[in-house]
Amino acid sequence: MTLKIQTPTEQHLLERISQFKKTTWLPVVEKRTGTVLNSKFSGIPLLAENEAWPCCGLCQQEMQLFVQLNSNELPVEAQQIFGGGVLQVFYCTNDEQGCEVECEAYFPFAKSTLLRVVDPAKVVAKTLVVSPVIDAFEEKVIITWHAADDYPNCEELDELGVELSDKEAEMLYEQDFPKTGDKLLGWPAWVQGIEYPECPVCSDSMKFIFQIDSEDNLDYMFGDVGCAHITQCEKHPERLAIAWACC
Ligand SMILES: [Zn+2]
Ligand SMILES: [Zn+2]
């Protein structure tokens, strides 16, 4: 991690947009096998005893577990963010069948993805030793979270009523705001435009929960160095989405 000293102009800019400052949480991981209840990238998720591993709606193969977040293991301030329980994101990375492209998995609600929140109190956990996923990613257990400040990008600031000059927009980008890499909450690092999905039930904009960036904790690239965002409808918490964009 590089520590950058802020110049007075940079400080002035951050003061100007301070009302939009949010805390983002960066996962600190350890490469090891966790329990089915741990927050983690890849590995064995919490599944019910009588349940099969979630399969892709196109190729029918077991999908990768991209991330699992146990609300009890999140920072205290973020524990209720998706309503409690264990959030799971499954995503098919089968290139032979080209599921990502065929199912347009860059858009929300693709059939080669599954997002859900499991209530651990209602599940008798299945015990699996080996992942059935072909070429499963290496498991990384999230052992803690580091808090960092986060700010919206210039386009989002513009929608919020703050217009930045080109120089200020560049300054923000150079300071890595919004933060790139995997993170919980904060502001999405949009690659294209602002793309909060609409809830299919109420059409409200879905709330940003988690960012999965190309080749950060998962050895996976979304298109050409794209960035994926997990979102949820505040009124319909069962409506969860992953979507991504690249240059
Ligand atoms: Zn598939
Ligand atoms: Zn909704």
Sign of the CA dihedral running 156, 25, 234, 208:
positive
Report helix angle 166-174 to 8-16, nearest 10. 100
Question: Cα separations (Å) of 181 from 24, 96, 240?
Answer: 11, 27, 20
CA 202 – ligand 2 centroid, Å: 4
Please tell me the predicted confidence (pLDDT) of residue 99: 98
- Whether residue 222 contacts residue 201, with contact meaning beta carbons closer than 8 Å, is answered with no
Q: Which ligand is nearest to the CA of 102?
A: 1
Please tell me the predicted confidence (pLDDT) of residue 55: 98
CA 153 – ligand 1 centroid, Å: 33
CA 56 – ligand 2 centroid, Å: 24
CA 100 – ligand 1 centroid, Å: 7
CA 91 – ligand 1 centroid, Å: 8
Please tell me the predicted confidence (pLDDT) of residue 200: 97
Q: Where are the beta strands (DSSP E) in the chain?
A: 22-30, 40-41, 64-70, 86-91, 113-118, 140-150, 183-184, 207-213, 227-232, 240-245
Question: Cα separations (Å) of 195 from 13, 105, 150, 160, 180?
Answer: 25, 14, 18, 15, 16
Please tell me the predicted confidence (pLDDT) of residue 4: 66
Dihedrals phi, psi of 102, to nearest 5 degrees:
-55, -40
Please tell me the predicted confidence (pLDDT) of residue 8: 87
Q: Which ligand is nearest to the CA of 101?
A: 1
Q: Which ligand is nearest to the CA of 207?
A: 2
- What are the tens digits of pLDDT across the range 103-134? 999 999 999 999 999 999 999 999 998 999 99
Please tell me the predicted confidence (pLDDT) of residue 126: 94
CA 72 – ligand 1 centroid, Å: 31
Please tell me the predicted confidence (pLDDT) of residue 9: 87
Residue type, 219: D
pTM for this prediction: 0.96
DSSP state, residue 205 = B
3 has a pLDDT exceeding 70: no
182 has a pLDDT exceeding 60: yes
Instruction: Enter the tokens of residue 23.
Output: 């805390």
User: What residues contact 178, with CB distance under 8 A and at least 6 apart?
Assistant: 24, 150, 151, 152, 153, 186, 187, 188, 189, 190
CA 246 – ligand 1 centroid, Å: 21
CA 231 – ligand 1 centroid, Å: 22
Please tell me the predicted confidence (pLDDT) of residue 209: 98
Q: Which ligand is nearest to the CA of 114?
A: 1
Q: Provide the residue ranges of all domains of the chain, joining segments of one domain with +.
A: 16-245
Could you write out the DSSP letters of every residue in 1-24?
Answer: ----PPPHHHHHHHHHTGGG-EEE
2 has a pLDDT exceeding 70: no
Share of the chain above pLDDT 70, in %: 98
Architecture of domain 16-245: Roll (2.30)
Please tell me the predicted confidence (pLDDT) of residue 5: 75
1 has a pLDDT exceeding 70: no
CA 83 – ligand 1 centroid, Å: 29
CA 236 – ligand 2 centroid, Å: 4
Mean pLDDT of the chain: 96
> What confidence category does residue 6 fall into, taking pLDDT thresholds of 50, 70 and 90?
confident
- What are the tens digits of pLDDT across the range 11-57? 999 999 999 999 999 999 999 999 999 999 999 999 999 999 999 99
Please tell me the predicted confidence (pLDDT) of residue 197: 98
- What are the tens digits of pLDDT across the range 64-93? 999 999 999 999 999 999 999 999 999 999
CA 134 – ligand 1 centroid, Å: 11
Per DSSP, the three-state class of 117 is strand
- Whether residue 91 contacts residue 230, with contact meaning beta carbons closer than 8 Å, is answered with no
167 has a pLDDT exceeding 90: yes
